[in-house]
Amino acid sequence: MPPRWARSVGPATATTVGLEATRCAPPPERLTPAGLDPVSRVRHGGVVDSLHTAVQLATRFDDVRGYTERLAAPLSPEDQTVQSMPDVSPTKWHRAHVTWFFETFVLADHERDFAPFGDRYWFLFNSYYESLGPRFSRPDRGLVTRPGAHEVGSYRDNVDSRFRDLLDSLDDGTLTKLAPTIELGFHHEQQHQELLLMDIKHVLSRNPLQPVYAGSRRAVSEPDELGWVDVEGGLVEVGHEGGGFCFDNEQPRHRQWLEPFRLADRLVTNGEWLAFMADGGYERPELWLSDGLAQVRAQGWRAPLYWSQHEGTWLEHTLHGTWPVDPGLPVAHVSFYEADAYATWAGKRLPSEAEWEHAVVSDGQADAVRAGGNLADAASFHPAAAGAAPSGSRLRQVYGDCWEWTSSAYHAYPGFHPPEGAIGEYNGKFMSNQMVLRGGCALTPPGHARATYRNFFPHGARWALSGVRLADGGEPR
Ligand SMILES: [Fe+2]
């Protein structure tokens, strides 16, 4: 039997499976255009606490939904329609898909006399949920010129209104049962806020006029010496302890054995990456995994994504325009293969995800909110130079700036079981052929970074805001 969501509409053409990942320096002048203030922070410790009352849920709903619209506000309907490559989704698709999520997983089973807003929206805006029926081809999302950006706005307004009405109508027992799904919807929308920014960066990079999304360039940063933090190994515990929101893939908490190791106290910089390039980094087969070298040759990689050379100077496309590469900023938009090759060239290695998490917690930065960092609320939308570590800690740039590639394949933790039903498709089915990244980036919404958060992308992905932190010692690579 088709889900209630699809009962009122006819069959559609089967399509390909979409795959999606799913998450301070003082901001320089002009970084925040009018109406682009970050969502208000909801801070209750290291993670966002469960939200149970209708008032709390409604407030959080308005915050999250409003922030998505503010991120999209600087973009024209034309900007919001373009899909510059298969991995990128149009801005208006993100706005509609996160709306579809609330309509499908919250309204469909709880709203009296539920009827979908649009006859075919369930088909257009389902991302990858097989159990909810067929959906439109992901690489062709840019062909969907209708509904337009304004109609998507009407869709959002309609679902927002119905959602608030539903919250007002639910009894306490039903609300308590539904609250975890609603909270998942908040974090799902935050993931798409980050993806929206990553995707529009790629879209604008393909425009020969190199449009600016927001912000302006920071002052050129000063050189900064790389330090190392020794971490005692042993039998450690990793994974989310419970007591606040986490995705299913962060649990169960479990034990891991770690040899003693060292972790770099900051991310690899553009200047260090330029040295790697000057030393033939992209041409030396001995530095590369076989699959990585194949990608280098097939894709013609000779620098990070968004770098281009003009009259001997390397330039970098950013959301605030195209500028000469700043040697002091973290290198960004490199694939796992490039990160691994760089580590080999440097005589180091990438940390495992368990090493990363244990080091961060041991360094007193389990609480991401207290640790701070260059997240989206800094409104720079670009990695910043490493500043000082939080008081009492030694690791810098833990949260924000760039998602950090680890040496860990994205697999289920021991004892992991996805939830039953369509929501069980959220994370578990992607645990193949991807690598884990940790920490968050300059596009990650506040309240969406934590020590146990497991982001994941394929080995060759470069459009995500990903960077490199080195490790040394401990287990051999
Ligand atoms: Fe999604």
d(CA 28, CA 221): 13
CA atoms within 13 Å, Cβ hemisphere of 454: 28
Lookup: tokens for 137: 């081809």
Burial string for 209-246 (b: 16+ CB within 10 Å, else e) reads eebbbbbebbeebeebeeebbebebeebebbbeeeebb
Q: pLDDT grade, residue 51 (50/70/90)? A: low
Lookup: tokens for 334: 């490199």
Section 125-152 average pLDDT:
94
Q: What share of the chain has pLDDT > 90, as a percent? A: 79
Report the pLDDT value the prediction gives residue 52, as an integer from 0 to 100.
Answer: 66
Distance 206 CA to ligand 1 centre (A): 24
Distance 10 CA to ligand 1 centre (A): 23
- Average pLDDT of the chain is 88
Distance 182 CA to ligand 1 centre (A): 14
- Which of 25-29, 173-177, 439-443 shows the lowest per-residue confidence on average (mean pLDDT)? 25-29
Q: pTM score, two decimals?
A: 0.89
Q: pLDDT grade, residue 41 (50/70/90)? A: very low
Q: Which of 115, 110, 113 is nearest to 173 (CA)?
A: 110
Angle at 300 between CA 298 and CA 305, to 5 degrees: 120
Distance 148 CA to ligand 1 centre (A): 19
Q: Which of 141, 143, 114 is nearest to 125 (CA)?
A: 141
Radius of gyration of the chain from Cα atoms?
22
Domains and CATH numbers, the chain: 4-205 (no CATH), 228-473 (3.90.1580.10)
Lookup: tokens for 466: 């990903």
Q: Which helix (H) or strand (E) holds 178?
A: helix 172-205
By three-state DSSP, how is residue 169 classified?
helix
Distance 190 CA to ligand 1 centre (A): 10
What residues have a C-beta under 5 A from ligand 1, the ion? 127
Section 262-282 average pLDDT:
98
Distance 127 CA to ligand 1 centre (A): 6
Distance 211 CA to ligand 1 centre (A): 27
Distance 388 CA to ligand 1 centre (A): 35
pLDDT of residue 386 exceeding 70: yes
Looking at the DSSP bridge assignments, the partners of residue 403 are 466
Distance 219 CA to ligand 1 centre (A): 36
pLDDT of residue 13 exceeding 50: no
d(CA 96, CA 145): 13
By three-state DSSP, how is residue 457 classified?
strand
Report the pLDDT value the prediction gives residue 125, as an integer from 0 to 100.
Answer: 95
Q: What is the pLDDT of residues 297-332, one digit of tens each?
A: 999 999 999 999 999 999 999 999 999 999 999 999
Q: What is the pLDDT of residues 280-301, one digit of tens each?
A: 999 999 999 999 999 999 999 9
Residues with Cβ within 8 Å of residue 418, at least 6 apart in sequence: 248, 424, 425, 426, 427, 428, 429
Q: CA dihedral defined by 360, 363, 365, 371, rounded to 10 degrees?
A: -120
Distance 386 CA to ligand 1 centre (A): 32
Distance 19 CA to ligand 1 centre (A): 9
Contact 350, 471 (CB under 8 A): yes
Q: pLDDT grade, residue 219 (50/70/90)? A: confident
Q: Which of 167, 140, 136 is nearest to 58 (CA)?
A: 167
SS3 readout for 33-58: CCCCCCCCCCCCCCCCCCCCCHHHHH
Distance 350 CA to ligand 1 centre (A): 29
Distance 22 CA to ligand 1 centre (A): 6
Residues with Cβ within 8 Å of residue 207, at least 6 apart in sequence: none
Residues with Cβ within 8 Å of residue 109, at least 6 apart in sequence: 4
Burial string for 248-259 (b: 16+ CB within 10 Å, else e) reads bbbbebeebebe
Distance 194 CA to ligand 1 centre (A): 11
d(CA 281, CA 279): 6
- CB 332: neighbour CB atoms within 10 A? 28
pLDDT of residue 415 exceeding 90: yes
pLDDT of residue 42 exceeding 70: no
Report the pLDDT value the prediction gives residue 328, as an integer from 0 to 100.
Answer: 95
Q: What is the pLDDT of residues 336-345, one digit of tens each?
A: 999 999 999 9
Looking at the DSSP bridge assignments, the partners of residue 455 are 437
Q: pLDDT grade, residue 408 (50/70/90)? A: very high
Q: What is the pLDDT of residues 185-213, one digit of tens each?
A: 999 999 999 999 999 999 999 999 999 99
Burial of 20 (0-12, 13-18, 19+ CB in 10 A): middle
Report the pLDDT value the prediction gives residue 255, as an integer from 0 to 100.
Answer: 98
By three-state DSSP, how is residue 289 classified?
coil
Section 231-253 average pLDDT:
95
- Amino acid type, 236: V
Unique residue bearing structure tokens 């990695």? 383
Q: pLDDT grade, residue 217 (50/70/90)? A: confident
Contact 34, 393 (CB under 8 A): no
Lookup: tokens for 80: 């919001």
Distance 409 CA to ligand 1 centre (A): 22
Distance 195 CA to ligand 1 centre (A): 10
